[in-house]
């Protein structure tokens, strides 16, 4: 590690847990440690990571990926990569931009840009949505260029229109024009949509239009009886749409009368301000050291 101090592997593995506890992220760490078992369970050969194709993109990824919403310790990215994770999902409003900065630092320091798939997002406020085409394009590109700068890359693998909950916004011609232009310029590889509510309608619109290559969709055990959503997922997959699951742990809580089976979350806790779809960035819950880190572990290809 940099910063004038060398860490043993034991310290590297245990000290982040202390930080996670203080930040309220211990459950996320446990999921990360469980990732190795999920990545290799039922694989054809012992220890072989399970891979699946992401729809018509042609990209093949491990079945477990990492959302970097609340992961604010750089060592977690290092360990996730060592376990076999190759897709990292972030957004400019996660930790007030710190999430993208941390991911960008990791990718650049370890020289793994060609080995990982980066997904980030553009969240347009209702005010921007009401603006004219020219102003919307200016604001969209401003958000996008900020992500490129924080991630220290010249292209994004998957760029999502963030927090879409209706078919109209899926097919907003102003947004589609900007995304098509960015793809033509080589600044994005695949346009996508992320959706937290109205998901069956969003998925149907994406499948019918054929423009977006990927949908980031909330799916977990609380939705096991949501037939419209499950049917929309099946239909989108059949049309070649790449599907990535989020909210897979259902918030870590038990169902309550307020959140019955089939609801989007199983947690009775009120949403945090500046959450994943807020247009106002939330401050980091834990500020990691500013110095860059480096691991002595070799990185597999």
pLDDT 10s digits, 54-104: 999 999 999 999 999 888 889 999 999 999 999 999 999 999 999 999 999
Backbone angles phi, psi at 17, to 5 degrees: -65, -35
Identify the domain containing residue 62 by its residue range.
9-252
- pTM score, whole prediction: 0.75
Q: Which residue has the tokens 């899926």?
A: 170
The CA dihedral of 108, 113, 118, 120, to the nearest 10 degrees, is 40
Q: Is residue 197 part of a domain?
A: yes
- Residue 296: partners with Cβ closer than 8 Å, 6 or more residues away: none
Q: Is residue 261 part of a domain?
A: no
Tally the domains of the chain. Answer: 1
Q: What is the CATH number of the domain that holds 193?
A: 3.20.20.100
Other beta carbons within 10 angstroms of residue 101's beta carbon come to: 17
pLDDT attached to residue 249: 84
Backbone angles phi, psi at 102, to 5 degrees: -65, -45
Q: Is residue 31 part of a domain?
A: yes
Among 7, 19, 81, 94, which one carries the catalytic annotation?
A: 94
Q: Is residue 91 part of a domain?
A: yes
Backbone angles phi, psi at 276, to 5 degrees: -65, -20
Q: Is residue 263 part of a domain?
A: no
Across the range 189-217, mean pLDDT stands at: 97
Q: Is residue 271 part of a domain?
A: no
Concatenated DSSP letters of 239-294:
TT-EEEEE-TTGGG---BTTB-TTSS----SPPPTT-TT-SSPPPPSS---SS---
Cβ 299 vs Cβ 110: under 8 Å: yes
Confidence of residue 34 (pLDDT cuts 50, 70, 90): low
Q: Is residue 272 part of a domain?
A: no
Give percent of the chain above pLDDT 90: 64
pLDDT 10s digits, 146-202: 999 999 999 999 999 999 999 999 999 999 999 999 999 999 999 999 999 999 999
Active site residue 94: yes
Question: Which candidate, 48, 90, 50, places its Cα nearest to that of 72?
Answer: 90
pLDDT attached to residue 275: 54
Q: Is residue 300 part of a domain?
A: no
């Amino acid at each position: 590690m940099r910063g004038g101090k060398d860490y043993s592997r034991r310290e590297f593995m245990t000290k982040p847990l202390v930080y996670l506890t203080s930040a309220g992220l211990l459950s996320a760490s446990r999921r990360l440690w469980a990732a190795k078992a999920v990545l290799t369970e039922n694989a054809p050969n012992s220890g072989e990571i399970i891979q699946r194709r992401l729809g018509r993109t042609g990209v093949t990824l491990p079945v477990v990926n990492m959302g970097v919403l609340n992961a604010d310790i750089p060592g977690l990215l290092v360990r996730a990569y060592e376990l076999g994770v190759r897709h990292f999902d972030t957004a400019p409003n996660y930790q007030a931009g710190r999430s993208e900065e941390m991911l960008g630092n990791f990718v650049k320091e370890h020289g793994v840009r060609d080995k990982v798939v980066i997904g980030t997002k553009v969240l347009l406020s209702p005010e921007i949505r009401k603006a004219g085409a020219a102003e919307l394009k200016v604001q969209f590109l401003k958000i996008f260029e900020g992500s490129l700068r924080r991630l220290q890359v010249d292209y994004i693998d998957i760029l999502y229109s963030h927090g879409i909950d209706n078919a109209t916004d899926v097919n907003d011609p102003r947004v589609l024009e900007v995304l098509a232009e960015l793809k033509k310029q080589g600044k994005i590889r695949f346009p996508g949509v992320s959706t937290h509510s109205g998901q069956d309608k969003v998925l149907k619109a994406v499948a019918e239009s054929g423009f977006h290559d990927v949908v980031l969709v909330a799916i977990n055990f609380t939705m096991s009886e949501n037939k419209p959503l499950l049917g929309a997922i099946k239909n989108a997959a059949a049309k070649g749409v790449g599907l990535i699951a989020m909210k897979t742990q259902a918030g870590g809580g038990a169902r309550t009368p307020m959140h019955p089976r089939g609801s989007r979350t199983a947690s009775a806790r009120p949403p945090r301000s500046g959450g994943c779809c807020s247009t106002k960035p939330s401050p980091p819950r834990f500020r990691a050291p500013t110095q860059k880190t480096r691991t002595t572990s070799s990185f597999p290809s």
